[in-house]
């Protein structure tokens, strides 16, 4: 909050995807939700998109979103905004920060575009989730993962193994190694059952399992899995 106040009239860039809503009431509902954190300050961002000002890519994804009721508008990775004002009304328990969408290129965005061009339609959602995890957007990643896991009907669906692997990666980054290991093993079993299993995908999972065992300080088992990952890729 203090940092945002200092950046008034300056440009800020946000590394992750930005999920917003076109419905003001929905945004205020989330802003008013109580927080368990002592140092957390509720903030409502009001973003202006001026058609005369170039800005980073954004899309209305209400019709394809897993949560159409949220009337979601998604801003791309590397989106840039100017901070127009920071204020708090006496009758509200949250601050309002007004932004205007601007344009600034970012290497991570160029990398994402290149990978999207090389990806099949079925893998784009998993690619999005991986970027969200890489950028620390665990809450958004979990929301999409839950929707995938709820919608997958067949155990031999390739996206199921990828979803388990991504969920395990989130737990691993959060230091919850036992949960990470559980989902890595689910990913491994699912990937191994696929008729046309991808050796690179298997090696990635074994590698992830190895590092998880390192986190659990079980070095012998960690080495076994890391060696298996290397063997598969030979």
Listed by start position, the domains of the chain span 2-105, 119-233
pLDDT digits over 112-132, tens only? Answer: 566 656 655 456 778 788 878
* Nearest by Cα to 45 from 16, 11, 21, 77: 21
Q: 119-233 maps to which CATH number?
A: 1.25.40.10
Q: Which pLDDT belongs to residue 18?
A: 83
Q: What is the mean pLDDT of residues 9-26?
A: 80
Q: Do residues 31 and 100 lie in contact, with contact meaning Cβ atoms separated by under 8 Å?
A: no
CATH topology of domain 2-105: Toxin ADP-ribosyltransferase; Chain A, domain 1 (3.90.176)
pLDDT digits over 189-199, tens only? Answer: 988 887 666 78
Q: Which pLDDT belongs to residue 5?
A: 52
Q: How many residues does the chain have?
A: 234
């Amino acid at each position: 909050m203090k940092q945002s106040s200092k950046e008034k009239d300056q440009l800020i860039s946000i590394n992750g995807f930005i999920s917003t809503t076109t419905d003001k009431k929905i945004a205020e509902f989330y802003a008013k939700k109580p927080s368990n954190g002592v140092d957390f300050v509720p903030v409502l961002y009001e973003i202006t998109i001026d058609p005369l000002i170039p800005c980073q890519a954004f899309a209305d994804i209400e019709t394809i979103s897993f949560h159409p009721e949220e009337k979601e508008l998604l801003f791309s990775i590397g989106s840039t905004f100017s901070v127009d004002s920071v204020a708090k009304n006496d009758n509200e328990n949250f601050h309002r920060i007004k932004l205007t969408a601007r344009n600034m290129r970012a290497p991570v965005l160029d990398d994402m575009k290149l990978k999207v061009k090389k990806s099949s339609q079925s893998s784009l959602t998993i690619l999005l989730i991986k970027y969200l995890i890489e950028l620390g957007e665990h809450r958004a990643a979990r929301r999409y993962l839950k929707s995938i896991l709820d919608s997958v009907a067949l155990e031999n669906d390739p996206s199921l193994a990828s979803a388990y692997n991504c969920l395990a990666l989130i737990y691993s980054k959060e230091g919850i190694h036992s949960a990470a290991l559980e989902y890595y093993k689910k990913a491994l079993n699912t990937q191994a059952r696929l008729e046309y299993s991808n050796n690179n995908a298997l090696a990635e999972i074994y590698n992830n399992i190895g590092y998880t065992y390192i986190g659990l300080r079980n070095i012998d088992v960690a080495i076994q899995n890391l060696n298996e990952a290397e063997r598969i890729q030979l």
